[in-house]
Amino acid sequence: MTRRCPDCHAVNRIPASRLAEPGRCGRCKATLPIETAPIEITDVAMFDAIVRDAPFPVLVDFWAEWCGPCRMVAPEVAAVAKAVTGRAIVLKVNTESVPQLAQRYRVQGIPNFAVFDGGKLVRQRAGAMRSAELLQFLDPARAA
């Protein structure tokens, strides 16, 4: 994972275990803010590292560009990512770009949401959800 410095624009590597924390730029030492948007997954290794090493629950949105409901829930997913900054991580997996993950988790309908905690899949559900439903799906105990 990388994060660009807002001051000097240097690209900084961020370990998956530190994604939900502010960092420090290796070049200018400025604070690197926590990412508040969903993280786009580009390959299986990136996904595996984040899910395995994340110190918080991980909400995954399996989607595709051609999917109308997926496009409709994208702002809801972005709102959840912003709301859980520092307490959870939100990932977006394009099933067309990374089909191996869709196959691994038997994604047959999209949008499909999954929650991982401690590196393990704890719940999964297909179908569009609003941000309040996604928050409850991510952490039923906290949302109750």
Place of tokens 């949401």: 113
Q: Identify the active-site residue in 5, 8, 25, 70.
A: 70
Q: Give φ, ψ of 119 to 5 degrees.
A: 85, 0
Mark whether 67 is an active-site residue. Answer: yes
Per DSSP, the residues of 16-56 read GGGTTS-EE-TTT--EEPPP-SPEEE-SHHHHHHHHHH-SS
Active-site annotation holds for 5: no
8, 25, 28, 67: the catalytic one is: 67
How many of the other CB atoms lie within 10 Å of CB of 68? Answer: 8
Q: Which residues are catalytic?
A: 67, 70
